[in-house]
Structure 1
Amino acid sequence: MLDTQRLLTFEAVVRIGSFAGAARELGYTQPGVSQQMRALERDLKTTLFSRDGRGLKLSEQGEVLASRVAEILAELRATEERIAAVTRLKEARVRICAFPSANATLVPSAISRLRSRQLGIELELFEAEPPESLQGLHSGEFDIVVAFRYDDQPASQSEPDFNTIPLLTEPMVLMMSDDHPLARRKQVELAELRDERWVAGCVRCRQEFVTACGDAGFEPRIDITTDDNLAVQSYVVSGLGLAVMPQMTQSFVKHPKLRSRPLLPERHRHVTATVLRSQRHTPAIIRVIESLREAASALATAPRI
C-alpha cells in the first residue's frame, strides 16, 4: 500500500521540478524530501528519478506514476469527503449547493418549509453553477446540488453515482424594454430577431442562447455579458439589447420597465436536485428533497409578474 504523504511529496517534486522547491513548498528540509522519495521507491521496488546535468529527471516508471498521481490523490480526497459526508448526514447536517437564481427563490422557500416542521436538520448553503457544483457533489463537498440543464443538454443522471430528481421545468422568455416595438406582441419568433443586439447571461445560458439562435438560422450579436440577473435587466431596459432568460429570474426581482414575452419555438430550462445514489435514502436527504419539491411546485404555479 502506497503512503499518502509520500505521494503528496512526489506530486510536489514533479510539479515544481526539484527536491529543494518541493521542500520549500511543503515546509520540509531537502534531505527530508529525499528520504521520502527513497522510501517511495522502496515501496514500489523501482527507481523513480535519475539525475543528469540539467537537474531532476523522471525514469520511465516515474513517468507512469506522475501521470496518475494527481488522479490518485483526488480520489483519496473524494473518499475522505464522502466518508465525512456520511457522518455529517447521520447528524442531520446537510450541505446544499445551488445556482444563483435558485438560491434567490427555490432554496429559501424550501428551507422555510423545512424549518417549520422542526425536524432538527441543520443546513449549510453554498452557491455555484453546474458543472462545478456537480463536481463538488462527486467529491463529497456537497450533499445536494440544485442544478439545471437545457433541452439539448444531457441530464446528470448519466453519471452512475448520481440520482437526479426533477424539480421544475421553466420556459425561456424574451426580455425587452417597455418601449421596444415588440413589447405589444403576445409572443415573438426568435428568427425575427436576427438584427437585434443582445445581452447574455452565464456561460451555460449563453451557450444555450447561441444554440437557439443557430437553430433559428442566425448568429446573435452579443454586446454585453454578465452573470448578474439584475444587471441583465438593467441593460435591457436601457435599450442596450434584448435578452433571453429563464422565467425564474423574474420571480425574485423585475425591473418596472421590463417586459417579457414567450419565445417561439419554445425552449426550456430543467431545474433538478441531484444527490449521490449511495445517500438517496438518508432521512435528512429525503426531507430536504421533499421541501425542495414542494417549493418548486409552489414556484411553478405562482402568478407571473
Structure 2
Amino acid sequence: MDMTVIPTVIPTVLPAVLPAVLPMTGLDLDAHSLRAMRAVSELGSITAAATAMGYSQPAISQLLKRLEQRLGMPVVERVGRGVRLTEAGRVLARHAVTVTTALDAAAGELAELQGLRAGRVRVAAFPSASATLVPQLLARMAVSNPEIGITYLEAEPPEAVAAVRENRVDLAITFSYPGDRDDPHPGSAQGLRHIALCTDEMLLVLPNGHPAAATKQVELAGLAHENWIGGCPRCRGHLLQLCDQSGFVPRISYETDNVAAVLGLVSAGIGVAMLPQMALGSALASASAYPGVEIRPTVAREHRTVHAVTAVGGERMPALAAALAQLAALTGGGSAG
C-alpha cells in the first residue's frame, strides 16, 4: 500500500470542517448533532429527521437539547405542532451541509485506503434517462464494481437536485437548456458540483409526408402555423423560448409528457412536436412502432446538456467516484462546473 496518499485526507477535509465545527473557542460539536441539525433543517420536523436518520423522535430531541446546552442558546423553537430553526440553528444547519459531506468524504477515502471497496450509490435521473443512461450505467457497474450497491429513483431535474441537497441521493442525472433564460437548472444546482456529461439533440417530430420533412434540416419558423403537442407548462419552456427566437408563439393544442402519446398523436397527423433524442431513442426501439412519424433536426441543431450533480466533495467517496467514472466513460463527458 502506498501510504503517501494518507496526508491528502487531512488538508482536504480539515479546512472545510474546522471553521464550522469550532466557530467559538472551546465549543464541542459532534457529528451526530450536526447531522440532526441538517436533517431538521432540510425535512422541516424532528419526526421526519428521526425517520430519515433511523433514530427515534426522543433521541433526536435529546441530541438537540444537548446541543443547546453546549451552545447556551436554543437551536429550535416550537411553532404549533412543529418546530423552526432559530438564528443559531440556521447557522449550524448551513455549516452542517459542508461538515457532514466532508466527513463522509473522509470516511470514504479512509475506507479506500483500507481496501474497503464496498459501498452504495443512490442515483436519481429524469425519465428518458431511465431507459437509456441508467440501464447502461447499472450494467457497467455490475461488471466493474459488483460489490457496490446502487439504488435508483426516477425524478425530474428539480426534484433530483433537491434530493442531492437533502442527502436522499448521492448522484442526480439532470439536464439543462443552454441559453434558456427561464431554465431553472443553473439556479437550483448552485453550490453543488455539476459535471457536463453529453449533449442530447432536440428533434422535430413530424407526420409522415409533412412538407418540412422533405428537407434534411428544418427551419423552426416554417412550423409557425402548425398545431403543436407540448409538455406540461413546466416542461415546455424551452420550446416556447426557441419559437420566440424564431418569431412566433406556438399554438399548443395538445399537452402530454408521455413520449409514446406524442408519437401516436403525430403519427395520426394531429400535430407536430419537439422531443429530445434520448427520449425518442427509447420510444422508437421498434422501427415499426410509429410508421407515420418522421424525425428531423432543426437547422440550429438545438440541444440540451445532460449533467451529473453531486454534493461538493462527494466525488471523494470511492463508490460515487466509481459511478462518476463509468458515467464519464459512457457519455464521453466529465467537465466539472
TM-score, shorter chain, exceeding 0.5: yes
| Paired position in structure 1 for 2:272 | 242
Pick one of 167, 181, 185 that aligns with 1:140.
167
Structure 1 outlier segments of 4+, above 3 Å: 65-91, 153-161, 202-205
Query: What is the number of residues matched between the two proteins?
Result: 254
Within a 5 Å distance, the mapping from 1:1-305 to structure 2 comes to: 92-153=119-180, 156=186, 159=189, 161-254=191-284, 255-297=290-332
- Counterpart secondary structure, 2:228: strand
Encode CA deviations 1:228-283: one digit per residue, 9 max, x unaligned. 11111111111121001111112112233221101123321000111111211221
Letter in 2 for 1:280: E
Please tell me whether the aligned partners of residues 101 and 312 of structure 2 are also in contact (alpha carbons under 8 angstroms).
no
| Paired position in structure 2 for 1:22 | none
Quote the offset at 1:165 in angstroms: 1.3
Distance across 2 between alignment mates of 1:70 and 1:214: 46
Please tell me whether the aligned partners of residues 151 and 267 of structure 1 are also in contact (alpha carbons under 8 angstroms).
no
Distance across 1 between alignment mates of 2:269 and 2:104: 48
Cα RMSD, aligned residues only: 3.9
Encode CA deviations 1:15-46: one digit per residue, 9 max, x unaligned. xxxxxxxxxxxx9xxxxxxxx9xx9xxx869x
Letter in 1 for 2:326: S
Distance across 1 between alignment mates of 2:271 and 2:321: 43
Encode CA deviations 1:192-238: one digit per residue, 9 max, x unaligned. 11100001125554000001111111111111121211111111111
Quote the offset at 1:118 in angstroms: 3.9
- Do the aligned partners of residues 156 and 284 (structure 1) sit closer, same or farther apart at CA in structure 2, a change above 3 Å counting? farther
- Do the aligned partners of residues 157 and 222 (structure 1) sit closer, same or farther apart at CA in structure 2, a change above 3 Å counting? closer
Distance across 2 between alignment mates of 1:85 and 1:143: 11
Letter in 1 for 2:231: G
- Counterpart secondary structure, 1:273: strand
- Counterpart secondary structure, 1:166: strand
Please tell me whether the aligned partners of residues 197 and 242 of structure 1 are also in contact (alpha carbons under 8 angstroms).
yes
TM-score by length of 1: 0.69
Letter in 1 for 2:130: N
- Do the aligned partners of residues 242 and 295 (structure 1) sit closer, same or farther apart at CA in structure 2, a change above 3 Å counting? same
Distance across 1 between alignment mates of 2:103 and 2:312: 16
Which range moves more in the overlay, 217-226 or 81-90?
81-90
Letter in 2 for 1:266: R
Largest Rg, 1 or 2:
1
Gaps of 5+ in 2: 1-26, 28-32, 46-56, 58-64, 112-117, 285-289
Letter in 1 for 2:292: K
- Counterpart secondary structure, 1:265: coil
TM-score by length of 2: 0.63
Distance across 1 between alignment mates of 2:245 and 2:168: 37
Letter in 1 for 2:299: L
Letter in 1 for 2:277: Q
Please tell me whether the aligned partners of residues 104 and 317 of structure 2 are also in contact (alpha carbons under 8 angstroms).
no
